[in-house]
Amino acid sequence: MPQSSPDEGHRSLENEARTRFAKLPPFHPVALKLLTISTESESAEADFVAAFRSDPALAAELLQVANSFEFGFAARIDSVPHAILALGLERVRSLAFTLAMRCYTRNMPRRQALQPVWSHSIATAIVAERLGAFSGAPLAYTAGLIHDVGRLGLMITHGGYSEFLGRPFHDGDESLSEESRLFGVTHTEAGAALAAEWGFPTGLCECIRLHHDSLSAGASASAVTSLVALACRYAAAIGFPETLQEARPSNDSLAAMLPPHLQERSDLAPESLSADIRRQIANVWK
């Protein structure tokens, strides 16, 4: 009997992975709806309110987070319009997407194994949001939050992926190569396929697929993809890694990772940034 080639075996594993992703539950419809609303639209606030009105449970969670210690408002926020006024449309969308991701992972059988990835994703989202504030990249927080969604898909569909996440690797290339060999796809390929299946915008799917490649892709990568690639590396470097177990760089090396005009920004300094990230992780990982 003729044996299949390694390439044929890889294609078989990749097809199997994509078939499994197609069977996963759909992503939160309100969060997806919020992605389609332009914050520049005159009807944006009314559209946001209408979206939350269709899901009172998500609205209630949003208000609970908005009233948490993290934001520290003197007066209680008691409605979605009030939250929009206090936080702004982009922050409300970011929080809603974070809550939707939490909801999706809440009942996973191996949820605790996902916590390091979740922590890294929140860290990347916060760094991306702060970098995006200076570059004007749209959806920076959301793009950072979902850049590793392929790890979620692989954990749900492959029982051995939890153990894979706990293994040390020399660098990202080694991790991606072993991921592809064992599971048929890398988490970047898996994430792009899963995001497309869920109906995410094309730009976010590209960001997921290219976030490990875009720093070397130069001008061919979109602004938000390059931004998330940098945020991913910076988040790992300040102590919120994915699967890599590498020595943390010095503060001088960390500063050198940032563009020159951002190297002195206090809100990107490792100590204060790490404290902000830990507060948000504690606030949403419940």
Q: What is the DSSP letter of 263?
A: T
Q: Where are the domains of the chain?
A: 6-284
Position 219 scores a pLDDT of 44
Q: What is the DSSP letter of 171?
A: S
Position 9 scores a pLDDT of 47
Q: Is-contact 230 239, C-beta < 8 A?
A: no
> Could you tell me the two tokens for 67?
């009233």
Cα 95 to Cα 44, 64, 87, 245, 262, distances in angstroms = 16, 11, 10, 29, 25
pLDDT tens readout for residues 102-156:
888 877 766 677 888 888 999 999 999 998 887 777 789 999 999 999 998 898 8
Give the chain's length: 286
> Could you tell me the two tokens for 259?
């563009």
Burial group, residue 103, by CB count within 10 angstroms (0-12, 13-18, 19+): middle
Burial letters 190-215, b for 16+ CB under 10 A, else e:
bbbbbbbbbebbeebbbbbbbbbebe
Nearest residue to 146 via CA among 90, 211, 52: 211
pLDDT tens readout for residues 25-46:
889 999 999 999 988 899 999 9
- Mean pLDDT, all residues of the chain: 83
Q: What is the pLDDT along the chain (286 residues), one digit of tens a residue?
A: 455 454 554 455 556 666 778 888 889 999 999 999 988 899 999 999 999 999 999 999 999 888 876 677 778 899 999 999 989 999 999 999 999 988 888 777 666 778 888 889 999 999 999 988 877 777 899 999 999 999 988 988 887 888 888 887 777 788 889 998 888 889 999 999 899 889 999 999 999 999 887 554 444 568 889 899 999 989 988 888 755 444 456 666 777 788 887 888 888 888 889 998 998 888 776 6
Nearest residue to 208 via CA among 281, 133, 124: 124
Fold of 6-284: Hypothetical protein af1432 (1.10.3210)
Position 267 scores a pLDDT of 85
Task: Give the C-alpha separation, 105 to 134, whole Å.
Answer: 32
> Could you tell me the two tokens for 267?
């809100």
Task: Give the C-alpha separation, 182 to 97, whole Å.
Answer: 30
